[in-house]
């Protein structure tokens, strides 16, 4: 049976387990969510299911609004981060909505329970100096250095999510036209331009290092799942970024490459692949790019999602004003 996160659920009463598995299956096969998203839902629902079981609730129809409010309170008093708590409660609300819509329960007890209102958390963007310091740590002729330079340049040049970056195939890259095709959430495709630095770094990787790594693959590997979350018609040797075995570089390995570069650069802030995405958007807006253009480049379905970066730019303007204007203080 196709995996849809159910194996991450704890042991639960059969009635609860069937309801959770049905919902996770719908997320996979009806809504088309990625396996990573479904796993996140499974973990949140597993936490909720264990909580219900501890309260002696064995059937979903026994849950009422007071139970969900009590669960929300327990989440708030727990050790989870604020955003994790909010996400966990959203998962519960969506699950109960599904159960009512599918007539698993007679009503939706979570419909009037709102998630906690967390303060707006602005993305952290690196300065251009920090970006360049990280990129400088990849200078060298070792294969891993050339690969790291290509990956970091791609992330900063395109604002790609890490899953999008490792999901790029050679056929998606057009160095002559300085373009790359990315596949975002739900398999949505977008074309993003590459700057000269990214084009040079990627060219060095593709021509000088990647062929020898591709030759190390033991087999064609047909049917291997690509970073896009679907089974590629091409073998994994068609991936742009490869590991030492000649197979597609994993998200975890790509994350480690970013982390290692950050540590070598001695940056005081925590850096993740998403930090490059934040920096990409923030630097574009600070440079005068139209927010609708940034929206398209990031692959956001709504400009509302992109608008959070304008707040980052506004904060930067305030800081510059406060330190530069003679009558600002």
Higher pLDDT, 312 or 248: 248
Q: In what order do the strands lie in the sheet with 189-193?
A: 173-174, 179-183, 189-193
Indicate the range of 106-115, 231-240, 279-288, 318-327 predicted with least confidence: 231-240
274 as an active site residue: the answer is yes
- Whether 277 and 160 have beta carbons less than 8 Å apart is answered as yes
> What CATH topology corresponds to 128-321?
hpI Integrase; Chain A (1.10.443)
Residue 42 near residue 24 (C-beta atoms within 8 A): yes
The more confidently predicted of residues 237 and 9 is 9
pLDDT above 90: residue 188: no
pLDDT at 248 (0 to 100):
92
Q: Sketch the domain layout of the chain as residue ranges.
A: 6-101, 128-321
**Mean pLDDT, to the nearest integer, of 203-230?**
69
Q: Could you confirm whether 309 is annotated as catalytic?
A: yes
Answer with the residue of higher pLDDT: 45 or 321. Answer: 45
- Strands 173-174 vs 179-183: parallel, antiparallel or unpaired: antiparallel
Average the pLDDT over 167-173 and give the result.
Answer: 95
Highest mean pLDDT: which range of 4-8, 222-226, 233-237:
4-8
Q: Provide mean pLDDT across the span 75-93.
A: 80
Catalytic residue among 18, 181, 185, 259: 185
* pLDDT reading at 157 higher than 60: yes
pLDDT at res. 117: 54
Tell whether pTM > 0.75.
no
- Decide if 277 is catalytic: yes
Catalytic residue, candidates 147, 277, 278, 283: 277
pLDDT band at 111 (very low <50, low <70, confident <90, very high): confident
**pLDDT for 72:** 83
Percentages (nearest 5) of helix, strand, coil residues in the chain = 60, 5, 35
| 317 pLDDT more than 70 | no
Q: Which of 18, 124, 197, 274 is catalytic?
A: 274
Catalytic residue among 4, 96, 199, 300: 300
Return all residues near 280 (Cβ < 8 A) that are at least 6 apart. 155, 156, 157, 158, 159, 297, 298
Average pLDDT over residues 43-69: 90
Residue 59 has pLDDT above 60, yes or no: yes
Confidence of residue 223 (pLDDT cuts 50, 70, 90): very low
Residues 6+ apart with CB under 8 A from 140: 146
CATH code of domain 6-101: 1.10.150
Tell me, yes or no, if 161 is annotated catalytic. yes
Closest residue by Cα to residue 169 from 125, 234, 109: 234
What's the pLDDT score for residue 199?
96
DSSP state of 318: H
* 23 flagged as catalytic: no
Whether residue 300 lies in the annotated active site: yes
Nearest Cα to 148, choosing from 278, 276, 235, 284? Answer: 276
pLDDT value of position 130: 95
Residue 1 has pLDDT above 50, yes or no: no
């Amino acid at each position: 049976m196709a995996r849809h996160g159910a194996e991450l659920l704890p042991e639960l009463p059969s009635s609860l387990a069937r309801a959770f598995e049905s919902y996770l299956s719908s997320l996979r096969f009806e809504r088309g969510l990625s396996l990573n998203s479904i796993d996140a839902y499974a973990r949140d629902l597993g936490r909720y299911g264990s909580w219900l079981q501890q309260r002696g609730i064995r059937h979903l129809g026994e849950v009422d609004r007071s139970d969900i409010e009590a669960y929300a309170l327990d989440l708030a008093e727990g050790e989870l981060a604020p955003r994790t708590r909010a996400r966990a409660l959203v998962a519960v609300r969506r699950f109960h909505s599904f159960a009512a819509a599918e007539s698993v329960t007679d009503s939706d007890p979570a419909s009037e329970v709102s998630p906690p209102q967390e303060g707006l958390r602005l993305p952290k963007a690196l300065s251009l100096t920090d970006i360049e310091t990280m990129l400088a740590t990849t200078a060298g002729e070792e294969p891993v250095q050339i690969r790291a330079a290509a990956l970091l340049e791609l992330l900063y040049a395109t604002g790609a999510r890490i899953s999008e970056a490792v999901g790029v195939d050679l056929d998606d890259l057009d160095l002559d036209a300085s373009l790359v095709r990315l596949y975002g959430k739900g398999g949505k495709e977008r074309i993003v331009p590459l700057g000269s630095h990214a084009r040079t770094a990627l060219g060095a990787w593709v021509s000088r290092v990647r062929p020898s790594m591709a030759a190390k693959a033991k087999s064609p590997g047909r049917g291997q799942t690509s970073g896009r979350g679907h089974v590629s018609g091409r073998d994994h040797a068609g991936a742009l970024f490869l590991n030492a075995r000649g197979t597609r570089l994993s998200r975890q390995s790509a994350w480690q490459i970013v982390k290692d570069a950050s540590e070598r650069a001695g940056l005081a802030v925590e850096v993740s692949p998403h930090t490059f995405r934040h920096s990409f958007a923030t630097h574009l807006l600070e440079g005068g790019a139209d927010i609708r253009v940034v929206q398209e480049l990031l692959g956001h379905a709504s400009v509302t999602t992109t608008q959070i970066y304008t707040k980052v730019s506004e904060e930067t303007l305030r800081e510059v004003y406060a330190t530069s204007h003679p009558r600002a203080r």
